[in-house]
Amino acid sequence: MKAHYTPYRLVFYKPAQTSREILTSKETFILTLQHEGKKGVGECALFRGLSAEDPVQYKKKLDWLCENISLDPSVISDELRSYPSLWTGYEQAIRNMKYGQDLYFPSAFTETKDSIKINGLIWMGEPDFMKNQIQEKIAENYTCIKLKIGAFWDKERDLLRHIRRKYSVEQLEIRVDANGAFGIEEAPKILEELARLNIHSIEQPIKPKREYEMKKLCKNSPLPIALDEELIGRFYPKEKKAVLEYIRPQYIILKPSLIGGFSGCNEWIALAEKMNIGWWITSALESNIGLNALSQYTYTKKNTLPQGLGTGALFSNNFRTPLLLKNDRLWYTR
């Protein structure tokens, strides 16, 4: 088997603001495998500033993967355990080489017989910018939206009040994602305010690796808390089990390229379901290559909650995609 990779920089149509930073571009690496006349493509979607991967050693590990691509998958898995986006790209490429074309996880979804319900993502910005995004999603018949919050909380709270006055809980489910933006002292008050607005859940209200404080929040919160960044950097099953047993969140958010690929995601799901912890899957700014594979994987998990997927429409130079968004349903097209 032979392997090579191509660096690629995705460019945003508009700068994308989170509570951590403003993004104008996103680097990624396209991994290509060839064996006995077959070809497989996967995406190693490094997320600098968020992933636990060592950015200095990243390309060396990618070179190692290409040089040792014929080793047993268990050996490669052990070597890449702390490089989840590399392992994800390898998993994708191996599956694509097996199934061909744009296929990774064949199912009723890839046979165009079924679709995936998704949430509408509202990016941070000034109130009018966020209102316009929300109005667009409502016009497209979304019943679940997710707002990034934590940069301008007073304005964001007013916006949430405005939305809830116009749309009841029955009409619109609202999720929020703080990306760890709130301080430990202010978080309980903010959770109370969100609960009064009938918000579905909040992702990562405080920074990760503050397990004691997060445990207290999850125990006493008037609305469900979802762990997101808290999962990053926990590479072994014992670590995963320990953090869920200790914190006991209501939900976890799964991003394979940050938490161990599809196999690592399966480990998180198995643990969560044993503990009656809910979950859903979210993309992490992959290109259309990784997003296609992620969407196919997501469908196979049969989770009925709205998922955090899309069609890669954020980028001006994305790759061709078989994914098509019709209102709030993601479809695969041949």
In angstroms, the Cα distances linking 210 to 76, 108, 206, 230, 235 are 32, 41, 8, 9, 18
Dihedral sign for Cα atoms in the order 151, 14, 284, 120: positive
φ/ψ (deg, to 5) at 40: -135, 140
Look at residues 291, 262, 285, 287 and name the one whose alpha carbon lies nearest to residue 91.
Answer: 262
Q: Each residue of 256-277: b (16+ CB within 10 Å) or e?
A: bbbbbbbebbebbbebbeeeeb
Q: What amino acid positions are annotated as catalytic residues?
A: 148, 255
The rounded Cα 174 to chain-centroid distance in angstroms is 17
